[in-house]
Amino acid sequence: MKVKVFALILAGGRGERFGAPKQVVEVGSKTLLQYSLEAFQSHAGVDEVVLVIHRDLRKEVLPYMEAYPKLRKIVEGGKTRQESSRRGLFSLEEDGFVLVHDAARPNLKPELIDRVIAGLGRAPAVVPVVPVGETLARLEGEVVRDFPPRKDFFRVQTPQGFRVSLIKEAHERVSEAGFTDDASLFLSAGMGPVLAVEGDPSNIKITYPGDLKFLEGT
């Protein structure tokens, strides 16, 4: 029996570092959010999409439910990413797999979605990673303490995949705030191993207006 696959798109932020709500900034003929919606809508392995959005943008994105039939639910975001993720996850009424994705990563390729879903057949949690290309320094105040080997470090991306019931349990176990992604929360809750799969260097996170130039060139 096929396991149902949900995509949970987190777009609950206010874009403070960006200077505007970047979810609805247009690049080409689409908003940043629509890039992720289209990626999941067109992927045969994804059954249903849930969108977590800032309350001020809810009316603006309601028409997306007609444009993207897999988008079945729009949930109001919380004050933090962790709270927004929790609200989205607990809106899911069935078990299965969930792919938690930041709307700020619009350049999402189907091959990456494939790898995360495949990984969930081997582990309860999956994250895509890419190697760190630069030399890393560990500091004590303003003084360099050492240069840890970069082969031991990777940059973590989204979508991150989980068994729905287990990531919900992880959120219930962890009471402290401050987690910036669900995989770190999952590990902190002691829910089991997190499998790393190959990420995509082009799957960058849009943080500042200048980052849009990368997307425009893809």
Per-residue pLDDT tens digits for 81-118: 999 999 999 999 999 999 999 999 999 999 999 999 99
Query: Could you give the CA distance from residue 178 to residue 107 in angstroms, rounded to a whole number?
Result: 26
Total structural domains within the chain: 1
Could you tell me the CA-to-CA distances from 158 to 23, 29, 63, 84 in Å, in that order? 16, 24, 25, 15
Cβ 188 vs Cβ 79: under 8 Å? no
142 falls within a domain? no
Pairing state of beta strands 125-131 and 195-198? Answer: parallel
190 falls within a domain? yes
Per-residue pLDDT tens digits for 28-40: 889 999 999 999 9
Query: Could you give the CA distance from residue 126 to residue 119 in angstroms, rounded to a whole number?
Result: 6
- Per-residue pLDDT at 40: 98
30 falls within a domain? yes
- Per-residue pLDDT at 97: 98
- Per-residue pLDDT at 25: 84
Enter the pTM of the model.
0.93
- Per-residue pLDDT at 26: 84
CATH number for position 65: 3.90.550.10
Query: Could you give the CA distance from residue 145 to residue 182 in angstroms, rounded to a whole number?
Result: 30
Torsional sign, CA 158, 164, 165, 168: positive
Torsional sign, CA 61, 215, 70, 157: negative
135 falls within a domain? no
Question: Which residue's structure tokens are 């247009």?
Answer: 26
Query: Could you give the CA distance from residue 102 to residue 11 in angstroms, rounded to a whole number?
Result: 7
Residue 156 contacts by C-beta under 8 Å, 6 or more apart in sequence?
A: 127, 128, 129, 181, 183, 199
For residue 189, the enclosing domain spans 5-127+156-216
138 falls within a domain? no
One-character DSSP codes across 179-205: -SSHHHHHHHTT----EEEE--TT---
Could you tell me the CA-to-CA distances from 71 to 21, 32, 67, 192 in Å, in that order? 20, 16, 9, 30
- Per-residue pLDDT at 19: 54
53 falls within a domain? yes
55 falls within a domain? yes
Query: Could you give the CA distance from residue 174 to residue 34 in angstroms, rounded to a whole number?
Result: 32
Helix (H), strand (E) at residue 20: none
Selection from 183, 141, 190, 191 nearest residue 166 by Cα: 191
Task: Flag residues of the chain having pLDDT under 50.
Answer: none
